Structure 1
Amino acid sequence: MTTSRIPYADLPDTARRAVEAHTGPVLKVESETEGFNSSIAARLTSPTGTYYVKGLRADHRRVWTQAREAEVNPYVRGIAPALIARVESDGWDLLLFEAVDGHHADYRPGSPDLPKVVATLRRLAEIPCPPIPLRHAEQRLARYAARPENLAQFAGDALLHTDWHNTNVLVTDQRARLVDWAWATKGAPWLDAGYWALWLIAFGHDPASAEEWASHVPTWQAASAEGINAFAVANANMWDEIGEGDPDPWTARMVGAARTWRDYRTV
Structure 2
Amino acid sequence: MPTAPIAFDELPATVRTAIEAETGLIRRIENISTGLNSSLSARAHTTGGVVFLKGLRTDHHWVWTQQREADINPYVTPLAPRLLFHVIADGWDVLGFESIDGRHADYSPGSSDLAKVTDALRELASLPCPDIELRHAEQRLAAYVAHPADADAFAGGTLLHTDWNNHNVLIADDRAHLIDWGWATRGAAWLDPAHWIIWLTAAGHTPSDAEDSVVLLPAWASAPPRAVDAFAHASANLWEEIASSAPDNWTTNLLDATRLWQQHRSDHS
TM-score of the aligned structures, taking structure 2 as reference length: 0.97
- Asked if residue 37 in structure 1 is aligned to residue 58 in structure 2, the reply is no
Q: For residue 89 of structure 1, report the CA deviation from its aligned partner.
A: 1.0
- Alignment CA distance shift 1:8-1:205 (3 Å): same
Query: Partners of 1:160 and 1:145 in 2: how far apart?
Result: 19
Query: Partners of 1:216 and 1:180 in 2: how far apart?
Result: 26
Give the gaps of 5 or more residues in structure 2.
none
Query: Partners of 1:69 and 1:154 in 2: how far apart?
Result: 22
Cα distance per residue 1:154-213 (max 9 Å; x no partner): 000000000000000000132100000010000000100000011000000001110011
What SS class does the counterpart of residue 88 from structure 1 fall into? strand
Cα distance per residue 1:91-123 (max 9 Å; x no partner): 110000000010001000000100000000000
Query: Partners of 2:149 and 2:58 in 1: how far apart?
Result: 38
- Deviates further, 15-24 or 220-229: 15-24
Query: Partners of 1:37 and 1:53 in 2: how far apart?
Result: 13
- Asked if residue 76 in structure 1 is aligned to residue 96 in structure 2, the reply is no
- Asked if residue 171 in structure 1 is aligned to residue 171 in structure 2, the reply is yes
What SS class does the counterpart of residue 95 from structure 2 fall into? strand
What SS class does the counterpart of residue 15 from structure 1 fall into? helix
Amino acid at match of 1:238: L
Which residue number in structure 2 is paired with residue 212 of structure 1?
212
Which residue number in structure 1 is paired with residue 265 of structure 2?
265
Which residue number in structure 2 is paired with residue 87 of structure 1?
87
Which residue number in structure 1 is paired with residue 185 of structure 2?
185
What SS class does the counterpart of residue 143 from structure 1 fall into? helix
How well do the aligned residues superpose, as a CA RMSD in angstroms? 1.0
Q: For residue 151 of structure 1, report the CA deviation from its aligned partner.
A: 1.1
8 Å CA contact 1:43–1:53 kept in 2: the answer is yes
- Asked if residue 105 in structure 1 is aligned to residue 105 in structure 2, the reply is yes
Count of residues paired in the alignment: 267
Aligned structure 1 segments of 4 or more residues deviating by more than 2 angstroms: none
- Alignment CA distance shift 1:67-1:246 (3 Å): closer
Query: Partners of 1:6 and 1:246 in 2: how far apart?
Result: 20
Within-5 A mapping of 1:223-234: 223-234=223-234
Query: Partners of 1:103 and 1:2 in 2: how far apart?
Result: 20
Q: For residue 245 of structure 1, report the CA deviation from its aligned partner.
A: 6.2
Q: For residue 214 of structure 1, report the CA deviation from its aligned partner.
A: 1.4
8 Å CA contact 1:118–1:216 kept in 2: the answer is no
What SS class does the counterpart of residue 142 from structure 2 fall into? coil
- Alignment CA distance shift 1:246-1:8 (3 Å): closer
Give the gaps of 5 or more residues in structure 1.
none
Which residue number in structure 2 is paired with residue 145 of structure 1?
145
Q: For residue 240 of structure 1, report the CA deviation from its aligned partner.
A: 1.1
Within-5 A mapping of 1:48-87: 48-87=48-87
Q: Percent identity?
A: 51
Cα distance per residue 1:21-75 (max 9 Å; x no partner): 1211111111111122211110111110001001011111211111111001010
Which residue number in structure 2 is paired with residue 129 of structure 1?
129
- Deviates further, 240-249 or 153-162: 240-249
Q: For residue 246 of structure 1, report the CA deviation from its aligned partner.
A: 6.8
Q: For residue 216 of structure 1, report the CA deviation from its aligned partner.
A: 2.7
Which residue number in structure 2 is paired with residue 28 of structure 1?
28
TM-score of the aligned structures, taking structure 1 as reference length: 0.98
